[in-house]
């Protein structure tokens, strides 16, 4: 064992920090090496220099720490390095060890001490640093591995139990609700519209038809919020929709299917699909078109944007025309694609049945053209023309003005949607006198030749009734009373029957009840029972005031007279047609005898006198044909005062031809004409002549060639 060098021979130089257990590596500039090992020197620090192995030539002699004395020596001998345990400190390799030269620590220390004593740059020596006590090492004791395994298993079991509990909750307790929510997310119901039945005239010409169209829909879930404005700016102008409405639809939360528009024309739908907008698509469906524009619009009506009838027969016969729509349930993926193998349920649609009307397209066009022209000429509020076959009650033309185009119904005022022929009630005026004449001919003992002394006015109770114009007192036959349309003469004749009898005849001719023609908005008019009449009501009722009817009711009165006293209920529908073209006729109309055939014949002859030169309607005469009819000029109640003053007039004319074999009835009504004459013989009779002449030619009805009877108007002597 090498003895420890003394201070003067090889110990550490004065002023250097060091001790028996740690030393700074010489010439390396590093920190002291504190690494120790229990039974040998510390491993050398890694460096770029070669470290000589122990025991090789040139190795410095190892320094050993002398054992402590006394008690400390005993403690040092205790195992596992208690306080004071002897340690060996590995010295760092000398700086020039790699070069094969070695210097002893004693010589280096002696040189350093010599430099310090010579005062050539060294610091004065300080007190030696006390040795650092080593930190006790705590031994690692392994715990019982079985306990650790059990703890881990318990933790895993707890986590698995949470998953199992949630799984039980989802698949048993809440499975129904989640299943339903999942179905709602995947399943979508697509409407399959039925093909709407066509409406044609009596000869099969289409008046309303169904053509191919598209429905535009949106999938709000596929439209990103930042893309919504772009979608609105593209879709709204093409479809003609309000941009705010489009934005609201495509922003519907949680929805996968919303309709934007129905009945879009295919060319417009192609513009939509060409934009390739996310979440916007089209579906095949049908749209309603009216190839004749405004022809018979008041009768046919229109189909609204929801695919339902909005007016006319489209509304009243909607159930039959529309059929039964179907549906299809399909599964849609989150990307909006149809899942081929998913659930697919379908109920096919049932096509609607078409309607074949009694109207004749050409005659309808002529009647509509004539009334539109006359309304414009006279400045009337509206006008109507009815052409009817009295033998079967079929309506051959129902024209009114102003009209509208059902293809663009939204641009027309709503008041024009329904036909005024059945919607508007008016006081018929003198056209109603034929009912009073029928009552007194059958129940009052009056004949066409019965003479009445007729002044131009008459007082009954507290009211004075006047003729339409002043005249001296006249002696008129009852046929003359009807031909000159005398109010006073009609009152005198009506006093031959009771008020109850007059009421019964009015009811028998169809007043106070709807015609049942099938058009929506029909008014039954107003006819109070005699128990509700005032003391003087029976007198104005006899000449067509204080009672109201619609135009179709009035036309039916003259059809009854023309048909020999048999009333045939007006009818507009010949039957229905199936998808395969099969035709099912409508039930026959109701028929009832109202007056005797003889009374009807007498009235026909009397009405021919109205169109004579001495009558009120010579402008209704048609060359070569015998024409019978009656004018009407009734005052309109002014709603501002509830009186007739300032309310205007209703001008009308009703007639039939040929008078000896009636086959056509035409009624013309003008409400409040303001230019020209307001009398029925001037305002309405020319329209009657125009339409009746065309109808006779269209129906190929030749003149009878018989001579008209001589109607005695004035009594002699």
- Catalytic (active-site) positions: 430
Q: Give Cβ neighbours of residue 444 (< 8 Å, ≥ 6 apart).
A: 493, 496, 497
Name residue, tokens 């510390």. Answer: 42
Contact 632, 680 (CB under 8 A): yes
Q: Give Cβ neighbours of residue 501 (< 8 Å, ≥ 6 apart).
A: 439, 443
Chain centre distance of CA 363: 37
3-state SS assignment for residue 512: coil
Q: Give Cβ neighbours of residue 451 (< 8 Å, ≥ 6 apart).
A: 475, 476, 477, 478, 715
Burial of 575 (0-12, 13-18, 19+ CB in 10 A): middle
Q: Determine the length of the chain.
A: 717
DSSP bridge partners of 671 = 382, 650
What span, in angstroms and rounded, lies between the C-alpha atoms of 330 and 341? 10
Greatest Cα pair distance in the chain: 189
Contact 479, 710 (CB under 8 A): no
User: For residue 594, what are the CA distances in angstroms to 397, 431, 603?
Assistant: 25, 17, 13
3-state SS assignment for residue 148: helix
Contact 666, 692 (CB under 8 A): yes
What are the tokens at 683? 């305002």
Contact 635, 644 (CB under 8 A): yes
H or E stretch at 309: strand 309-311
- Exposure string (b/e) for 437-452, b if CB count within 10 Å is 16 or more? bbbbbbbbebebebbb
Q: Let me know the angle formed at the C-alpha of 104 by 103 and 105, rounded to the nearest 5 degrees.
A: 120
Pairing of strands 354-357, 199-200: parallel
């Amino acid at each position: 064992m090498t003895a420890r060098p003394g201070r003067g021979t090889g110990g550490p130089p004065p002023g250097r920090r060091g001790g028996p257990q740690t030393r700074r590596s010489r010439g390396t500039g590093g920190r002291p090496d504190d690494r120790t090992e229990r039974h040998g020197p510390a491993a050398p620090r890694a460096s770029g220099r070669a470290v000589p192995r122990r025991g090789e030539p040139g190795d410095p002699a190892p320094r050993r720490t002398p054992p402590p004395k006394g008690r400390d020596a005993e403690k040092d001998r205790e195992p596992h390095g208690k306080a004071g345990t002897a340690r060996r400190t590995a010295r760092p390799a000398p700086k020039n060890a790699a070069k094969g030269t070695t210097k002893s620590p004693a010589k280096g220390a002696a040189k350093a001490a010599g430099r310090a004593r010579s005062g050539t740059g060294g610091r004065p020596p300080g007190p030696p640093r006390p040795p650092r006590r080593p930190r006790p090492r705590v031994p690692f004791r392994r715990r019982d591995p079985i306990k650790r395994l059990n703890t881990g298993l318990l933790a895993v079991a707890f986590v698995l139990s949470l998953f199992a509990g949630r799984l039980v909750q989802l698949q048993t307790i809440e499975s129904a609700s989640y299943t339903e929510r999942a179905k709602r997310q995947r399943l979508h119901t697509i409407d399959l519209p039925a093909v709407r039945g066509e409406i044609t005239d009596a000869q099969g010409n289409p008046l309303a038809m169904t053509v191919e169209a598209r429905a535009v829909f949106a999938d709000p879930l596929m439209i990103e919020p930042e893309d919504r404005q772009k979608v609105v700016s593209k879709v709204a102008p093409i479809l003609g929709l309000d941009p705010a409405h489009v934005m609201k639809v495509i922003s519907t939360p949680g929805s996968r299917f919303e309709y934007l528009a129905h009945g879009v024309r295919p060319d417009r739908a192609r513009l939509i699909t060409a934009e390739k907008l996310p979440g916007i698509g089209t579906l095949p469906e049908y749209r309603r078109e009216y190839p004749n524009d405004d022809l018979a619009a008041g009768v046919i009506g229109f189909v609204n944007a929801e695919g339902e009838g909005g007016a006319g027969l489209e509304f009243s016969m909607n159930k039959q025309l529309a059929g039964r729509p179907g549906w299809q349930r399909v599964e849609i993926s989150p990307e909006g694609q149809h899942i081929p193998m998913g659930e697919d349920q379908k109920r096919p649609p049932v096509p609607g049945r078409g309607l074949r009307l009694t109207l004749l397209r050409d005659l309808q066009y002529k009647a509509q053209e004539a009334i539109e022209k006359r309304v414009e000429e006279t400045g009337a509020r509206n006008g109507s023309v009815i052409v009817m076959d009295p033998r079967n009650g079929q309506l051959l033309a129902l024209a009114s003005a102003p009209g509208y185009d059902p293809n663009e119904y939204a641009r027309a005022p709503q008041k024009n949607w329904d036909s005024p022929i059945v919607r508007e009630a008016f006081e018929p005026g003198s056209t109603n006198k034929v009912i009073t004449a029928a009552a007194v001919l059958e129940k009052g003992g009056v004949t066409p030749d019965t003479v009445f002394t007729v002044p131009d006015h008459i007082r009954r109770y507290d009211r004075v009734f006047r003729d339409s114009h002043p005249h001296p007192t006249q002696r008129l036959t009852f046929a003359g009373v009807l031909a000159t349309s005398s109010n006073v003469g009609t009152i005198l004749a009506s006093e031959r029957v009771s008020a109850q009898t007059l009421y019964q005849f009015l009811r028998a001719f169809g007043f106070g009840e709807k015609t049942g023609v099938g058009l929506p908005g029909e008014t039954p008019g107003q006819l109070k029972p005699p128990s509700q009449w005032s003391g003087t009501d029976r007198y104005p009722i006899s000449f067509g005031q204080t009672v109201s009817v619609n135009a179709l009711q009035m036309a039916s009165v003259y059809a009854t007279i023309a048909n020999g006293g048999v009333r045939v209920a007006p009818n507009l529908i010949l039957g229905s047609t199936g998808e395969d073209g099969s035709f099912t006729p409508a039930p026959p109309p109701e028929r009832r005898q109202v007056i005797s055939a003889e009374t009807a014949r007498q009235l026909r002859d009397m009405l021919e006198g109205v169109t004579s030169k001495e009558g009120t309607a010579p402008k209704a005469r048609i060359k070569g044909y015998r024409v019978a009819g009656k004018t009407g000029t009734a005052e309109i109640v002014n709603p501002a005062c509830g009186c007739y003053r300032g309310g205007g007039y209703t001008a009308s004319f009703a007639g039939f031809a040929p008078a000896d074999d009636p086959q056509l009835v035409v009624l013309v009504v003008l409400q409040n004409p303001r230019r020209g004459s307001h009398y029925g013989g001037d305002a309405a009779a020319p329209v009657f002549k125009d339409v009746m002449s065309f109808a006779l030619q269209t129906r190929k009805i030749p003149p009878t060639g018989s001579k008209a009877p001589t109607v005695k108007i004035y009594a002699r002597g």
